[in-house]
Amino acid sequence: MAAVESLPPGTPSAMRNAFGTVLSALILVLIGVLAFSIRLFSVIKYESVIHEFDPYFNYRVTQFLSKNGIYEFWNWFDDRTWYPLGRVIGGTVYPGLTLTAGTIWWVLNAINIPLSVETVCVFTAPVFSAFASWATYLLTKEVKGSGAGLAAAALLAMVPSYISRSVAGSYDNEAVAIFALIFTFYLYIKTLNTGSLFYATLNAIAYFYMVCSWGGYTFIINLIPMHVLLCIVTGRYSPRLYIAYAPLVVLGTLLAALVPVVGFNAVLTSEHFASFLVFIIIHVVALVYYIKGILTPKMFKVAVTLVVSIGLVVCLIVVAVLVALVASSPTGGWSGRSLSLLDPTYASKYIPIIASVSEHQPPTWPSYFMDINVLAFLVPAGIIACFSPLSDASSFVVLYIVMSVYFSGVMVRLMLVLAPAACIMSGIALSQAFDVFTGSIKYQLSSKSKDDAEDNTSTKNAPKDDASSGKADKGEEVAKERLSKKGKKKEREPAEKPSVKSKIVKKKALVLPLEASIVALLLLIMLGAFYVIHCVWAAAEAYSAPSIVLTSQSHDGLHVFDDFRESYAWLSHNTDVDDKVASWWDYGYQTTAMANRTVIVDNNTWNNTHIATVGTAMSSPEKAAWEIFNSLDVKYVLVVFGGVIGYPSDDINKFLWMVRIGGGEFPHIKEADYLRDGQYRIDSEATPTMLNCLMYKLCYYRFVETDGKGYDRVRRTEIGKKHFKLTHFEEVFTSHHWMVRIYKLKPQKNRIRGRVKKLKQKTSSGVSSKSVKKNPWM
Amino acid sequence: MAARIWIFSVAVALFLSFSSGHDLQIVNAERRIDLSSHIVKAFLTLKVENIGKDPAADMLLAFTPTQIKHLSMVQAMAITGKKKKKTYLPLDVKPTEQPDAPNDTGYFLVSFATPLTPGETVTLEVLYILTHSLEPFPSEIAQSESQLVYYRDSAVILSPYHIKQQTTFFKTPSARVESFTSVDPANRAGKEIKYGPYEDRAPYSYAPVIVHFENNSPFAVVEELVREIEISHWGSLQITENYRLTHGGARHKGVFSRVDYQSRRSISGSSSFNALLAVLPPKVNSVYYRDNIGNISTSHLRTGFKKSELEFEPRYPLFGGWRATFIIGYRVPLEDYLFEAPDGRRYLNFTFGCPLVETIVNKLTIKVVLPEGSKDPSAVLPFTVNQDLQVKYSYLDIVGRTVVVLQKDNVVPTHNVPFQVYYTFKPIYMLAEPFMLVSAFFFVFVASLAYVHIDLNIVKK
């Protein structure tokens, strides 16, 4: 549908054009099918199920939405999480994804297609990646024509970075947000190219959708002002730019403020200030241009001095106000995540909870190769192609790629923002290269048939030599060189153009020798093939595991480790519906969604103290931990333990973060107590604090009885303390492969008369002063 | 003590035997009660004689109120012929009410094939099945303990008729019997406890006994089972079964230790179960086994010519009182189950009951979803069930599909007998949905054609 609509509506009279339109529509449909189906590996290899952590929350919200309707959803106060605080879901969640899936579900059910909410959620991401590739086509078409558009769309359909966030089942905000991002950029460029207020309005609406969907909308509202500023600075101001920008800021900000989670942040936080500043600047500039238009040059000079001085004053006032506002808030008006973007070391210094998330770490070089593969080599060529000639649109994509490269370098998660930019650039590069090569082949063939007397001119020999020398190199390099060469050629071209016969010279300048072109074409195709193979591999092997069910291939067949769901199912069927389950925050979303039990903390890490309380409990000795948990009304404690089967991301490996986060709030927990000579270990060398903390005990309780030695397969060592008893907790469930262990808090013991006094004396002297700090809930 | 009860019962019975229609007496009765699983099966062999003056067309079977509550089914057959030439003739059994039933006794009326003339005798075989009749004691056990249960019954058969001679056998699953009430003569040999023979017991004699024995067979109770059978005339029958399973035995107490469960399987967790067997129809395909959070990967399917067997495990072993829910779905070819009746109607012939072996279903709902456009549905079953009609909207339905809902409580594997649902259906309805899809595409293309060719501009360019 979208493909059909995306085509230019006007019917070209020429048969050739009509054929091209139909062909590109067909290609687009196929690209959509490709984008959708390459993401189904997870369903085929595993099952149709929601993946990982956050998607479970989104799924749960969608279930609520589909059951109770939109108004209940806005007012939803969730008491199943962050016990005893609860969470206002309607006001703290980006509703775009859930509303989208909820609407799809509602429409399907209205026409009697009874798909379950889960099915709709699982397939939302693949559907939207098809939309995203079509949006990429539109965007790139606005920049460099439909050939580049098709190439970019095909590249985006299977770029691994995007696949990693949008396989079937990965029901996360990014799934729809990337589409919204690209589409917003497309509408911005479209407005910039046409100057149509219609598109400007659509742009604001697309921006609104993006705001609804993902916190990454701040990228848009900073990137577009930067581009506007760039255009103004480089003297590219035009009324079209004004149309593209001013309505977006006004309408976009108003619309963004409608989203409860953003609200007044749309005008209050520093992330949005750049847009307002540029908004003022563009008005000043517009005024200058207007006055310039109506005044004679002489009068204008007078006016300039006047306006500039007034403008400066206004700007200064605004800047002063902004500075005052920013300075008044402790973080300078920036949220923690944004700050860690601007200062990559910020999170690890001040907010361990952000730093503890693996996707907030800076990426490594191999991850670039893994996630965007050959695009990394094509991007420079694309950038060069964008400079010849530089238009408003192409300057925008150049700015986009530069910014996203920086952001992706800070946080591996933002590789996702880089991926579309890389695809657009590479699409442009590929398409230009193909243009040149096929063009020269065509020219060579046609000229050969005519006559080859005047063909071998000196203009052509030079590039031929260059090309043949580069041919020996590897495929990527050849392509790159060729592309950059072509870029240079194109740059040179305008200089040559005005000289003599305009068309022939242009053609000749771009002509390469036949053999070289054919070889280069083949190499380019090989490069593309390599990319496709890599993408399919990444989609099938690297990114399709749902992570709630693990499989391992061994000599005696496939092993399935379904322990998470085993224990969540156990919790949901065999505990009381109001029981509270404490676990590290990673498992909060899954517990609420799959086990339907109240949790203390979950993956929405909004309350650091609360998480620190749980971290403290996990790192405290049994009795203290029991007291903390008991005061939180916890009935069950869930730990994830990989020592039996060798599952590395278990709680023992995450334990240092618990200590760090707990210690950040409650200073009696010291990281050094858990480390022996700076090393984290659980064997006989481990510190007594470590061996006596709750996490160690809950993980290794009766572990030694499995093999007699207590050999931990993740840490590859025998555990330090093997035989011990639990006094305040009792094991109530351990999953088949020991990955999840659930303990119940033992009820409080009856007080015996003589001992009460003793206890009282003890507590009055020792604990009372500490307990205030130890546990805020007591 | 027992003697006193008898005297009381005799008094009541004498009064009653006049009120009941016929003068029958039971010459010889043998009762075998099978306690080896949690479904209690009792086989009665009765030799009935008409000692009255009028021919008797039927006789009564009496049950205590607790038995009535747990009674799942009663079947009776008349035996004719001797030894090898025995033939069994099923008889009609239906619940009935008697005006002056003592102590709320419940009755079933067995109608003879031919009325019993005075002096004639007939041999009857009666099978009745009781559910939830084994009471765990102790009611809570730890992981390593084995499960002991009480079974309460009477040493003599409760009957509105005089019984000349009778014997009762209880068969326990293992030789471990903690205790049993002694009513002379009573003795135990291995897995069998024998009460009797007792001579000349008056109507409504009752001698309560309690047998306390070990029973570690899986107490698999399906609290609710909803089976949806969707008929598609395009060639298949889609069956979806929603189970809510529980372990109906002694409640699990305290710790569940995986170490003990894995290393000492034979003694630890002997009362628990984690493997179940479902008998599915032959030629079954597209079988799935999941619950509402995804696939459950522990199942094996063996298909055969007569039946298919799905061996599966719930996500975790079930101890007493633990619950699990899951869904089993499968598809079978239509031609094996859907037939055309001579009067032109179609009928579905499918098996009632629950495919799981040795399970009790507390509440069974079978929904037969007929294709859209079918009319006049009627269900034919060999026993009484609650029937209802619903409408369901499935893929691209406009008027909805008629759903025949059959609901029955207390279902045991003996209820797995064929039932039929008759309905009329015109094959032309099958084309409705393809036609809708085709026309939708057609209109999309027509609309885009129109959009391309019509100039919507107000101002001529």
Query: What's the confidence (pLDDT) of residue A496?
Result: 40
Q: Which amino acid is at B213?
A: F
Q: In the beta sheet, which residues pair with residue B378?
A: B422
Query: Mind telling me how many Å the CA of B452 is from chain A's nearest CA?
Result: 6
Query: What's the confidence (pLDDT) of residue B389?
Result: 92
- Least confident segment among A238-252, A289-303, A702-716: A289-303
Q: Looking at the predicted structure, is the pLDDT value of residue A428 above 90?
A: yes
Q: Looking at the predicted structure, is the pLDDT value of residue A359 above 80?
A: no
Q: Looking at the predicted structure, is the pLDDT value of residue B392 above 60?
A: yes
CB of B450 within 8 Å of a chain A CB? The answer is no
- Cβ-in-10-Å burial (0-12, 13-18, 19+) of A451 comes to exposed
Mean pLDDT of A3-29: 69
Query: What's the confidence (pLDDT) of residue B403?
Result: 93
Q: Would you place residue A389 in the very low, low, confident or very high pLDDT band (cuts 50, 70, 90)?
A: confident
* Residues in A touching B322 (Cβ below 8 Å): 570, 573-574
Query: Mind telling me how many Å the CA of A113 is from chain B's nearest CA?
Result: 5
Q: Looking at the predicted structure, is the pLDDT value of residue A255 above 70?
A: yes
List, in order of start, the domains of chain A with CATH numbers: 188-193+205-333 (no CATH), 559-745 (3.40.50.12610)
Q: Looking at the predicted structure, is the pLDDT value of residue B441 above 90?
A: yes
Token output for A335 = 């949220």
Contact B315/A11, CB-based, under 8 Å? no
Q: Would you place residue A207 in the very low, low, confident or very high pLDDT band (cuts 50, 70, 90)?
A: very high
Q: Would you place residue A249 in the very low, low, confident or very high pLDDT band (cuts 50, 70, 90)?
A: very high
pTM: 0.85
Query: What's the confidence (pLDDT) of residue A481?
Result: 42
Of B263, B291, B394, the CB nearest to A569: B291
Query: What's the confidence (pLDDT) of residue A189?
Result: 93
Mean pLDDT of A52-58: 89
Q: Looking at the predicted structure, is the pLDDT value of residue A281 above 70?
A: yes
Q: Looking at the predicted structure, is the pLDDT value of residue A767 above 60?
A: no
Q: For testing the chain A interface, which of B224, B251, B258 should be mutated: the one with the most A CBs within 10 Å?
A: B258
Query: What's the confidence (pLDDT) of residue A543?
Result: 87
Query: What's the confidence (pLDDT) of residue B326?
Result: 93
Token output for A531 = 């990319």
Q: Would you place residue A331 in the very low, low, confident or very high pLDDT band (cuts 50, 70, 90)?
A: low
Q: Looking at the predicted structure, is the pLDDT value of residue A580 above 80?
A: yes
SS3 A436: helix
CA dist., res. B404 & res. B368, Å (int): 5
Query: What's the confidence (pLDDT) of residue A470?
Result: 37
Contact B316/A566, CB-based, under 8 Å? yes
Of A47, A731, A736, the CB nearest to B257: A731
Query: Mind telling me how many Å the CA of B317 is from chain A's nearest CA?
Result: 9
Phi and psi dihedrals of A227, rounded to 5?
-65, -40
Query: What's the confidence (pLDDT) of residue A469?
Result: 38
CB of B274 within 8 Å of a chain A CB? The answer is no
Q: For testing the chain A interface, which of B300, B316, B325, B436 should be mutated: the one with the most A CBs within 10 Å?
A: B316
pLDDT tens profile A69-123: 999 999 999 888 888 888 888 888 899 999 999 999 999 998 888 899 999 999 9
**Nearest C-alpha in B relative to A594:** B293
CA dist., res. A76 & res. A413, Å (int): 29
Mean pLDDT of A441-452: 75
Q: Looking at the predicted structure, is the pLDDT value of residue A769 above 70?
A: no
* Residues in A touching B272 (Cβ below 8 Å): none
Report the C-alpha dihedral over residues A568, A572, A578, A582, rounded to 10 degrees.
Answer: -10
- Cβ-in-10-Å burial (0-12, 13-18, 19+) of B237 comes to buried
Q: Which amino acid is at B37?
A: S
- Catalogue the E-assigned strands of B266-322: 276-280, 285-291, 294-295, 299-302, 308-312
Mean pLDDT of A38-51: 89
pLDDT tens profile B339-387: 988 988 899 999 998 999 889 999 999 999 998 888 889 999 888 889 9
Query: What's the confidence (pLDDT) of residue A330?
Result: 59
Length, in residues, of chain A: 778
Query: What's the confidence (pLDDT) of residue A755?
Result: 54
Cα end-to-end distance, chain B, whole Å: 112
Q: Looking at the predicted structure, is the pLDDT value of residue B100 above 90?
A: no
Query: Mind telling me how many Å the CA of A4 is from chain B's nearest CA?
Result: 8
CB of A180 within 8 Å of a chain B CB? The answer is no
Q: Looking at the predicted structure, is the pLDDT value of residue A1 above 50?
A: no
pLDDT tens profile A175-188: 899 999 999 999 99
CB pairs < 8 Å spanning A and B: 81
CA dist., res. A174 & res. A210, Å (int): 10
Query: Mind telling me how many Å the CA of A645 is from chain B's nearest CA?
Result: 15
Mean pLDDT of B147-151: 91
Q: Looking at the predicted structure, is the pLDDT value of residue B106 above 60?
A: yes
pLDDT tens profile A682-721: 888 888 888 888 999 999 988 888 888 888 888 888 888 8
Instruction: Quote the crossing angle between the two packed helices A96-110 and A54-74, to the nearest 10°.
Output: 70
Q: Looking at the predicted structure, is the pLDDT value of residue A24 above 60?
A: yes
Q: Looking at the predicted structure, is the pLDDT value of residue A632 above 60?
A: yes
Q: Looking at the predicted structure, is the pLDDT value of residue A515 above 50?
A: yes
Query: What's the confidence (pLDDT) of residue A661?
Result: 87
* Residues in B touching A49 (Cβ below 8 Å): 293-295
Tell which wins on pLDDT, A304 or B339.
B339
Q: Would you place residue A39 in the very low, low, confident or very high pLDDT band (cuts 50, 70, 90)?
A: very high
Mean pLDDT of B260-286: 84
Chain CA centroid to CA A88, Å:
24
Highest mean pLDDT, choosing among A123-127, A602-606, B118-122: A123-127
Average pLDDT along chain B: 86
**Nearest C-alpha in A relative to B452:** A9
DSSP state of A454: T
Q: Looking at the predicted structure, is the pLDDT value of residue B238 above 90?
A: yes
CA dist., res. A685 & res. A678, Å (int): 12
B24-214 and B220-254+261-433, same CATH topology? yes
Query: What's the confidence (pLDDT) of residue A773?
Result: 45
Average pLDDT along chain A: 82
Q: Which amino acid is at B300?
A: H
pLDDT tens profile B111-132: 888 888 888 888 899 999 999 9
Q: Looking at the predicted structure, is the pLDDT value of residue A747 above 50?
A: yes
Q: For testing the chain B interface, which of A736, A737, A746 should be mutated: the one with the most B CBs within 10 Å?
A: A736
List Cβ neighbours of A163 (8 Å cut-off, separation of 6 or more).
A38, A39, A129, A535, A538, A539, A543
Query: Mind telling me how many Å the CA of A242 is from chain B's nearest CA?
Result: 27
Q: Where are the alpha helices (DSSP H) in A39-95?
A: 41-45, 54-74, 89-92
Residue written as token pair 């809708």: B436
pLDDT tens profile B299-339: 888 888 888 899 998 889 888 889 999 999 999 999 889 99
CATH of domain B24-214: 2.60.40
CB of A42 within 8 Å of a chain B CB? The answer is no
Neighbours of A166 (CB within 10 A): 29
- Least confident segment among A85-99, A154-168, A225-239, A308-322: A308-322
- Any idea where the domains of chain B sit in the sequence? 24-214, 220-254+261-433
CATH of domain B220-254+261-433: 2.60.40.1730
Contact A566/B254, CB-based, under 8 Å? no
Contact A573/B325, CB-based, under 8 Å? yes
Q: Would you place residue B53 in the very low, low, confident or very high pLDDT band (cuts 50, 70, 90)?
A: confident
Q: Would you place residue B460 in the very low, low, confident or very high pLDDT band (cuts 50, 70, 90)?
A: low
Q: Looking at the predicted structure, is the pLDDT value of residue B2 above 60?
A: no
